[in-house]
Amino acid sequence: MSQKSGPPPIVFILLFLGLLGGGYWWFFMRNPASNPISSGGDTTTTEAFSVPTTVASGTTVKIDGSTSMVTINQSLKNGFEKQFPGTKVEAIGNGTDRGIQDLLAGKIDISAASRPLTAQEQSQGLKAVTVTQDAIAVIVSKANPFNRGLTSSQIADIFEGKINNWSAVGGSSATIRVINRPAISGTHQTFKELVLKGANFGTTPNITTLPQDATTPLIQALNKDGIGYATFDQVANQQTVRVVAIEGLTPEAASYPYKRSLYYVYKDPANVGVQAFLGYATSPQGQQALTSGN
């Protein structure tokens, strides 16, 4: 009798490749923390928190940090306190670096951060969750006669001090006064990475660095010849400034080049109040509060 032949070798090869691919998906793609590509170079550790059903009355959560997240903090504070009566969220904004310092010192529960955590900060037991996406807007006063857009390279040259006259970018002949944020600002640090590609801000006489990380004084300092930058949410409805288009794109555009993530940072392990607030902030209810302002 003739023996039945088994499956051709190619079947076993395909089966092996299928198992190999399934294993890769399970380990790397299903668990993004294990995927070195998924973070896009961002080393910030992220963790998911469950949406709370109840929060004990008397729970207080203290937040400080990024000035870019003041509006976000207020929206989430209002929504959290409304959903969980008897709770209290205290939120101020003294800059990302100050917030992280106070978090490490145990003065606050959560630091709002407009940049990823550094490796050193992570080694000190800090972790972060992504709250939302944001865009950095380049702005001039509406009193400024310059009403054109700029390219990314022109923006970099302006803030590095290589271009210091509006006539070099199609405007009238006048000195460009650059209004910079202080180095403690997370927005300053992100602008340096996104826009200057890691290069330093210029030190030419036309560049002024503010002593405090705050958007209102920056807007007031623009006058007719200044240029600065701020988180888009803080200037989108301002009546005295104009957002400069970059490569023909404004911050609302999906492909706008100066976009970033905003984070809440906590000390691991998170206490019960922090877990509840972060669970709410990243929940559908919390995200709805961000868009509605409730």
Q: Which phi and psi (to 5°) does residue 168 adopt?
A: -75, -15
Query: At 209, which helix (H) or strand (E)?
Result: strand 207-209
Task: Kindly state whether residues 124 and 265 are assigned to the same domain.
Answer: yes
With beta carbons less than 8 A apart as the criterion, state whether 227 and 27 touch. Answer: no
Q: What is the CATH number of the domain that holds 276?
A: 3.40.190.10
185 domain residue, yes or no:
yes
pLDDT at 177: 98
Task: Kindly state whether residues 271 and 249 are assigned to the same domain.
Answer: no
pLDDT at 206: 98
Task: Kindly state whether residues 265 and 280 are assigned to the same domain.
Answer: yes
pLDDT at 26: 38
Ranges under pLDDT 70 in the chain: 1-47, 293-294
Task: Kindly state whether residues 66 and 108 are assigned to the same domain.
Answer: yes
| Cα–Cα distance, 169 to 56 (Å, whole number) | 58
The pair of structure tokens assigned to 179 is: 């209004």
| Cα–Cα distance, 189 to 174 (Å, whole number) | 28
Average pLDDT, the chain: 87
Task: Kindly state whether residues 127 and 266 are assigned to the same domain.
Answer: yes
| Cα–Cα distance, 67 to 232 (Å, whole number) | 12
Task: Kindly state whether residues 266 and 246 are assigned to the same domain.
Answer: no
DSSP state of 185: -
Task: Kindly state whether residues 147 and 288 are assigned to the same domain.
Answer: no
48 domain residue, yes or no:
no
pLDDT at 44: 55
Burial class (CB in 10 A: 0-12, 13-18, 19+), 188: buried
Cα–Cα nearest to 134, from 259, 291, 293: 259
**Beta bridge mates, 128:** 265
pLDDT in tens, 44-91: 555 689 989 999 999 999 999 999 899 999 999 999 999 999 999 999
- Say how many domains are in the chain: 2
- Structural domain including 123 reads 60-134+261-292
pLDDT in tens, 231-254: 998 899 999 999 999 999 999 999
pLDDT at 123: 97
